[in-house]
Amino acid sequence: MIAYLSGGLTVVIGLYVLALGLGAALPPQQHRGRRLLAVLGALMILGGIAAAISDREALSRDRAAETAAEVAAGIRARIDAFPAAIDELTRLEDVRAEADALVFVYTLLLEDRVRAVETVAALRDQMTMTACDEPEMRRYFQAGLSVSYRYTILSGEEIGPITLPPEFCEIYGE
């Protein structure tokens, strides 16, 4: 927020310096440095705009991180105990927020790595085809959240995470 305000102040000062550089309010004997003032004013304006945009993006990331933490806490509150059995092959170990991502951590009750890789590939295909049809997923994306699914097998080996970015539905369809 401070960078946003200082960015705005820098733009205002830059406009003043640019006006001085273009000759406003300068007596004729001080016109020698006009070009330098004009360039300096333009640079100050650009710097102020960059600071304001940077702060806006940081605020957006902060809001997404807060939302991820709230959503993860809400999901955790609805589950009686962890680990939670999802089906005969899948156990939900945790739901957590990591930066601006909502992360679901699963264990596949498999020892065969090849079968686990095939299972995660099938899940990826299913998720990418149906994610935009689910109102809850759309709400996550609209809030700026990535949704990540992490799978490990009984040996503890991680099998490729599935991560859907916030712009997933915009990129891959309605």
Decide which of 112 and 20 is more confident. 112
Give the model's confidence band at 5: pLDDT under 50 very low, under 70 low, under 90 confident, else very high.
very low
Which of 25, 44, 66 marks a domain boundary?
Answer: 66
Tell me, yes or no, whether 33 lies in a domain: yes
Tell me, yes or no, whether 72 lies in a domain: no
Count of domains in the chain? 2
Q: Are residues 51 and 100 in the same domain?
A: no
Please say if the pLDDT value at position 100 is more than 60.
Answer: yes
Give residue 163's pLDDT: 94
Q: Are residues 114 and 156 in the same domain?
A: yes
Give residue 79's pLDDT: 81
Structure-token match 């902060």, residue found: 62
Please say if the pLDDT value at position 51 is more than 80.
Answer: no
**What is the layout of strands, in order, in the sheet containing 146-153?**
84-85, 90-98, 101-108, 146-153, 158-164
Give the model's confidence band at 82: pLDDT under 50 very low, under 70 low, under 90 confident, else very high.
confident
Tell me, yes or no, whether 130 lies in a domain: yes
Please say if the pLDDT value at position 80 is more than 50.
Answer: yes
Q: In this prediction, what percent of the chain has a pLDDT beyond 70?
A: 64
Peptide bond into 83 cis (omega under 30): yes
Please say if the pLDDT value at position 107 is more than 70.
Answer: yes
Tell me, yes or no, whether 152 lies in a domain: yes
Tell me, yes or no, whether 73 lies in a domain: no
The tokens for 124 are: 């990826």
Q: What CATH number does residue 136 fall under? A: 3.30.300.250
Cβ(95)–Cβ(103) below 8 Å: yes
Domain coverage including residue 145:
79-172
Q: Are residues 59 and 143 in the same domain?
A: no
Q: What's the pLDDT tens digit per position in 18-49?
A: 454 555 555 555 555 555 555 555 556 666 55
Please say if the pLDDT value at position 9 is more than 80.
Answer: no
Q: Are residues 40 and 103 in the same domain?
A: no
Q: Are residues 104 and 58 in the same domain?
A: no
State the burial class of residue 51 (Cβ atoms within 10 Å of its Cβ: 0-12, 13-18, 19+): buried
Lowest-pLDDT choice from 18-22, 39-43, 123-127, 153-157 = 18-22
Tell me, yes or no, whether 125 lies in a domain: yes
> Ramachandran region of residue 147, left (φ > 0), alpha (ψ -120 to 50) or beta?
beta
Tell me, yes or no, whether 109 lies in a domain: yes
